[in-house]
Amino acid sequence: MKRFYKAVSVSAAPYQILLDGKAVKTPMRLALTLPSQALAEAVAEEWRGQGEEIKPDTMPLTKLANTALDRVSELREEVIHQIAAYANDNLCYRADAPADLAARQKAEWDPLLKWAEKRYGVSFEIRSGVTHFSQSFETVEALYAALTGYDDFALAALHNAATILASLVLTLALAEQRLSAEEAFALSQLEERYQAEQWGEDEEAAQRTEALRTELIAAETFLRLAKL
């Protein structure tokens, strides 16, 4: 789409993005209204930064805001269920071999599981291998309940984060600023990092990894600015 505006501004509360004085609409034709001035200014900067062509892929904060307003607000319970599904956490699946990988998983992942157990009053089962298993009903329910405390904007970001990290523990640690996006992503990529150290990194895989890392950082930024 060609750029059709010159000036970008932010209205007084409720914070809306204005293009030449007219409010931006979401794909569902809702006014693009943000919960904080800080987030609104960051979204406005994405619009200012567009050249002659508008490139949605360069506007991750706008995309998350659209998701919060159009999707999460309408399907809140479904979105929470989708995030809560990651309570069957990748951190609980451990390698049988090699021994040094299993040791690294224990050293890097166990502290986060212990943090979550104490923070949310839950208990995680850890198994070796890749055969799927489910955590207890009580653990999943407690983590689901924790997610209900987040607003629609936070849930939009957490959904992205959980999808990237495949771990509800890492997602909640990110939400509570127990971990940065960089730290959470590195932990989620532990096995991939190990394989790259042993055999080298494939260029295409590295590009995909970098795209995911960038997307997670955007989710972290969105979470932080929405609360300011």
Superfamily of domain 8-58: ATP12-like (3.30.2180.10)
| pLDDT score of 120 | 98
Beta bridge partners of 127: 93
- Measured CA to CA, the distance from residue 34 to residue 184 in angstroms comes to 26
Please name the fold of domain 76-226: ATP12-like fold (1.10.3580)
User: What letter does residue 128 receive in the DSSP assignment?
Assistant: E
* Structural domain boundaries in the chain: 8-58, 76-226
The structure's pTM equals 0.95
Quote the distance between the C-alpha of residue 26 and its chain's center.
20
Q: In 75-100, which positions are buried (b, 16+ CB within 10 angstroms) versus exposed (e)?
A: eeeebbeebbebbbbbbbbbbeeeee
pLDDT tens per residue across span 31-52? 999 999 999 999 999 999 999 9
| pLDDT score of 72 | 98
Running along the chain, 228 residues long, what does each successive block of 10 average in pLDDT? 96 96 97 97 98 97 98 98 98 95 97 98 96 96 98 98 98 98 98 90 89 98 95
Residue 31, CB half-sphere, CA atoms under 13 Å: how many?
15
